[in-house]
Amino acid sequence: MAKITMREAISQALMEEMDRDPAVFIMGEEVGVWGGTYAVTKGFYDKYGPERIKDTPIAENAIIGGAIGAAMVGQRPIAELMTINFAFSAMDYIVNQAPKLRYMFGGQFEVPLVIRAVGGGGRQLGATHSQTPDAIFAHFPGLIVVSPGTPADAKGLLKSAIRSNDPVLFIEHATMYQVRGEVPEGEYLEPIGKSKIQRPGKDVTIVTYCKGLELSMKAADDLAKQGIEAEIVDLRTLRPLDMGPVLESFKKTNRAVVVEEGWKSYGVGSEIVSRIYEEAFDYVDAPIIRVAQKEVPLPYNRALEQAALPQVPDIVAAVKEVLK
Amino acid sequence: MAEIINMPKLGFDMAEGVLVRWVRQVGENINKGEVLAEIETDKATVEVESHFSGVVLQHLVDPGTSVPVNDPIAVVGAAGEVISNSSLVSAESKPAAATSTSSEKADTPKAEQPAELPITNIQLPALKASPLARKVARDKGVDLGAVVGSGPGGRIVRRDIEKALAAGSTLNVQPSTPSAAPAPDTSHFAPRTFHADESIQTTKLRQAIGRRLVESKTTIPHFYVTHEYKMEALMALRKQLNGYLPDGEKLSVNDFIVKAVALALREFPNLNATLQGDKIIRKGGVNVGVAVTVPGGLMTVVVKDTDQKPLRQISSEVKSMAARARDGKVKPEDVDGSTFSTSNLGMYDVEDFIAIINPPEAAILAISSAKEVPVVENGQIKVGWRMKATISVDHRISDGAEAAQFMQALAKYLEEPIRMLA
């Protein structure tokens, strides 16, 4: 199996789906002639032309609004947001239109839309361009929220997202495009709404996704050297949330740490912890700890930015705490 | 045997203390007298010492917690000891000593527990156990109360249950099948019921008792002598005499004691006295006071010239005065002029107690219950009647030797009661 980067995996998924279905097209800022801010669509413009690779004005509400309209009349648009922070400019379309049209029109319309958005910090882009607001979007019924942590999942999940007849917010991490992993070539689909054990273990469950998976895998390596076997459950999809593997793992280990890059308050971890307490209370042997971003606007200064973001030692420390 | 350390009472009005810091952690050794924790009262920060040597097995409260006086704060015992409620020995009779570390040392009275307010129930706070530990304990029939928690703050976690199961000594019920699991018995760690404080207006009598006895206890240097009396003869004589007396006129044990006290006092005039400046006034008459419980307090009724009155008269006078006192119809002469007081708690199955001198008298006799007990006589164990009495004496007037001799003289009458009939 080929070991390719996250960027290549996403590129592959997009290209395969565009080749497979002529209704699929891409629109966004600098996605065409420039090849995408993160070079994901490099070469697409030459291959598919301006009809299917559409550069747009710097107007997120126009991008998402236009994409929704196209989706409603039978196209399968992939709208790219240069960063998820710009999604706030298109908030009404993302949370109030796309997820509700099928419902509001009694099933007369479908919205087969994919919004690709780049999230996360760590690239010194400042407080307004480095956020991880995933939980906000996962709050709204009707909007599927996917955020992969490996190249293979990125490919398999993005292809499934493009084939979904409901809107999907597909969140990629700005610092993970160079992450390499084995990715099946050609047709490869991963189901949306399925969590996955990314590393088996027996002592503690780490629940995470996206960038948190990368950090947690490293933390698990450190912990293994100390004789602690962490089982890592990758959520992959935040909505619909699949608690199955999480609960299965937790019922085995009875102790858990939840790792996310976003802020702790009202975050993904809050949801996971609540679900565990609700659905596996009798299996709780220690309070569950959340590892998350410090509750500050993310600093620009590199040292401060790294200090505010969750890091591998934070996860190791949290695991040891829950194992006390 | 595990021992409980309680929140000490460090001042008369101290109701609770805040546990500031654990000086000794769970698992650490501690010797008797070493500092276990720091607590903060209204007045000062003080150190709490352990009364026991051993290992700190459990902290029962977290730092920062306000703990009512006498509530348990920690358990000290042998290393590895499994704590169960039954293995805990309450420290109620051994109040925590405390040494003040603040500049307000003088304001912090030493640990003291009022004798009349014994703590009879030591309750452990709700057990801390993880939900999983509770479930496993429930499924396997493990008594959580018999398990030591090794988690943070003493929380019982699954490994503790497994350890207890391995040790095999904590099963309290047969393991049940999950489908037929009985409801867990949570009664022993149910939250405590909150009982609100109650404000009671003291009566004038209560206030008077308070004033007089505070004055007595704080200005009179009391000392105490206890004597045990053989009561077989007195019990027999009383039974015999009462056989001749109609109901309502039968003699009580106390009637004999009052008479005996009066006769003994005639031999020890120094104890039938009052201190006036630099003089001891030995009273001419022997008027024995008898403390009587009345609504809202107690009163001392007085049998005038007790030494000169026959038992039946003493008995009759005490009965009628006590009745008047209880009915609130006491006459001034009923309660006036006593030269020596007696307090008898014999009817309450009392082993021994001490009384506070009733000023301006020189002494008071506290009489406890006459009990049937095993006694040794001539190397043989047999059943006998014994009664303890403790005299409290004003050391400005008398000394221990004299008090002891008085108690011996009293024995002469109590143990050979025929003398009282002469």
pLDDT in tens, B12-58: 667 788 888 888 888 888 888 888 888 877 656 677 888 888 888 88
Same domain, A34 and A88: yes
Q: Which of these three, A162, A183, A204, is where a domain ends?
A: A183
In this structure, the answer to whether residues A174 and A62 fall within a common structural domain is yes
Is A254 in CB contact (< 8 Å) with chain B?
Answer: yes
Q: Do A254 and B132 touch (CB under 8 A)?
A: yes
* Alpha-carbon distance A318 to nearest alpha carbon in chain B (angstroms): 14
Contact A282 B151 (CB under 8 A): no
Mean pLDDT estimate for chain B: 83
Question: What is the structure's pLDDT at B201?
Answer: 84
User: Tell me: the pLDDT tens digits for B334-389?
Assistant: 988 999 999 999 999 999 999 999 999 999 999 999 999 999 989 999 999 999 99
Residue A43 and residue A179 in one domain: yes
Q: Is residue A191 part of a domain?
A: no
* Same domain membership, residue A145 and residue A228: no
Could you say which residues from 285 to 304 on chain A have a Cβ atom under 8 Å away from some Cβ of chain B? 285-286
Say what the pTM is. 0.53
Q: Which distant-in-sequence residues (6+ apart) come within 8 Å of B221 by Cβ?
A: B394, B395, B396
**How many CB pairs below 8 Å do chains A and B form together?**
27
Q: Spell out which residues of chain A touch residue B131, defining contact as CB-CB under 8 Å.
A: 281-285
Q: Are residues A243 and A287 in the same domain?
A: yes
* Start-to-end Cα distance in chain A: 41
- Is the pLDDT confidence value at B178 over 70? no
| DSSP codes joined into one string, B340-364 | EEEEE-GGG--S-------TT-SEE
Of A183, A208, A234, the domain-final residue: A183
B154/chain A closest Cα distance in angstroms: 11
- Per CB-CB distance under 8 Å, the chain A contacts of B155 are 286
Question: Is the per-residue pLDDT at B138 higher than 70?
Answer: yes
- Domain count along chain A: 2
Residue A189 lies in a domain: no
pLDDT at B408: 97
A175, part of any domain: yes
Q: Is residue A188 part of a domain?
A: no
What is the structure's pLDDT at B101?
A: 43
Q: What is the mean pLDDT of residues B285-301?
A: 92
User: Which one is predicted more confidently, B315 or B336?
Assistant: B315
A176 & A57 share domain: yes
The reported pLDDT for the residue numbered B192 is: 67
Same domain, A106 and A160: yes
* Residue-level pLDDT at A49: 96
Given this model, what pLDDT does residue B93 score? 40
B181, pLDDT greater than 80? no
Indicate which of A255, A277, A282, A285 best probes the interface with B, i.e. most B CBs within 10 Å of its own CB.
A285
Helix (H, G, I), strand (E, B) or coil at B378: coil
Question: Does the pLDDT at position B108 exceed 70?
Answer: no
Closest chain B residue by Cα to residue A283? B132
ipTM of this complex > 0.90? no
pLDDT score, position B174: 45
- Cβ <8 Å between B151 and A283: no
Residue of B nearest to A286 (CA): B130
Name the residue of chain A whose CA is nearest to B134's CA. Answer: A282
Query: Is A235 inside any structural domain?
Result: yes
Structural domain range at position A164: 2-183
The secondary structure of chain A, three-state, reads: CEEEEHHHHHHHHHHHHHHHCCCEEEEECCCCCCCCCCCCCCCHHHHHCCCCEEECCCCHHHHHHHHHHHHHCCCEEEEEECCHHHHHHHHHHHHHHCCCHHHHCCCCCCCCCEEEEEECCCCCCCCCCCCCCHHHHHCCCCCEEECCCCHHHHHHHHHHHHHCCCCEEEEEECCCCCCEEEECCCCCCCCCCCCEEEECCCCEEEEECCHHHHHHHHHHHHHHHCCCCEEEEECCEEECCCCHHHHHHHHHHCCEEEEEEEECCCCHHHHHHHHHHHHCHHHCCCCCEEEEECCCCCCCCHHHHHHHCCCHHHHHHHHHHHCC
Counting DSSP H helices and E strands in chain B, the numbers are: 8, 17
Q: Which of B131, B152, B157 sits opposite A282 (nearest CB)?
A: B131
Instruction: Nearest chain B residue to A287 by CA: give it.
Output: B130
Whether residues A202 and A173 fall in one domain: no
Same domain, A8 and A115: yes
Q: What is the pLDDT of residues B81-92, one digit of tens each?
A: 766 655 555 444
In B124-183, the residues whose Cβ lies within 8 Å of chain A are 130-135, 151-152, 155, 157-158
Kindly determine whether residue B130 and residue A286, on different chains, have CB atoms separated by under 8 Å. yes
Amino acid A237 reads: T
| Final residue of a structural domain among A149, A183, A217 | A183
Using 50 as the pLDDT threshold, list the residues of chain A that sit under it: none
- Determine, for residues A286 and B151 on separate chains, whether the beta-carbon distance falls below 8 Å: yes
Residue with the bigger pLDDT between A156 and B167: it is A156
Inter-chain CB proximity B131 and A286 less than 8 Å: no
Q: Alpha-carbon distance A156 to A189, whole Å?
A: 4
Query: Is the pLDDT score of B202 beyond 80?
Result: yes
Residue A50 sits in the same domain as residue A82: yes
**Pair B23, B47: CB distance under 8 Å:** yes
Report the pLDDT value the prediction gives residue B12, as an integer from 0 to 100: 62
Q: Do B131 and A281 touch (CB under 8 A)?
A: yes
Helix, strand, or coil (residue B246): coil
Q: Please check whether residue A190 lies inside any domain of the structure.
A: no
Tell me the CA distances in angstroms from A277 to A248, A261, A280, B159, B224, one per residue in order.
Answer: 13, 22, 6, 20, 63
Interface test with A, best of B138, B155, B157 (most A CBs within 10 A): B157
Decide if A254 and B152 are in contact by the 8 Å CB cutoff: no
Q: Is there a single domain that holds both residue A291 and residue A220?
A: yes
Q: What's the pLDDT tens digit per position in B380-418?
A: 999 999 999 999 999 999 999 999 999 999 999 999 999
CA distance B181 to chain A (A): 14
What is the set of active-site residues of B?
A: 395
Clarify whether residues A144 and A248 are in a common domain: no
User: What is the CATH number for A88?
Assistant: 3.40.50.970
In a domain, A277, yes or no: yes
For residue B244, pLDDT beyond 70: yes
Least confident of A298-302, B15-19, B305-309, B313-317: B15-19
What domains can be seen in chain B, in order of their start residue?
3-107 (2.40.50.100), 131-189 (4.10.320.10), 204-421 (3.30.559.10)
DSSP state of B380: E
Q: Which of A202, A251, A282 is the best substitution to test chain B (most B C-beta atoms within 10 A)? A: A282
Q: What is the pLDDT of residue B261?
A: 97
Could you confirm whether A173 is annotated as catalytic?
A: no
Indicate whether A29 belongs to any domain.
yes
Chain B residue numbers touching A281 (CB-CB < 8 A): 131
Range B103-124 average pLDDT: 42
pLDDT on residue B10: 72
Which of A281, A282, A324 is opposite residue B151, by nearest beta carbon? A324
What's A279's domain CATH number? 3.40.50.920
pLDDT above 70 as % of chain B: 82
Q: Using pLDDT thresholds of 50, 70 and 90, give the confidence band for residue B96.
A: very low
The answer to whether the CB of A145 falls within 8 A of the CB of A116 is: no
Min distance A285 CA to chain B CA atoms (Å): 5
Distance from CA of B151 to the nearest CA of A (A): 6
pLDDT (0 to 100) of residue B6: 86
Whether B100 shows a pLDDT value over 90: the answer reads no
Using H for helix, E for strand and C for coil, what is the string for B75-115? Answer: EEECCCCCCCHHHCECCCCCCCCEEECCCCHHHCCCCCCCC
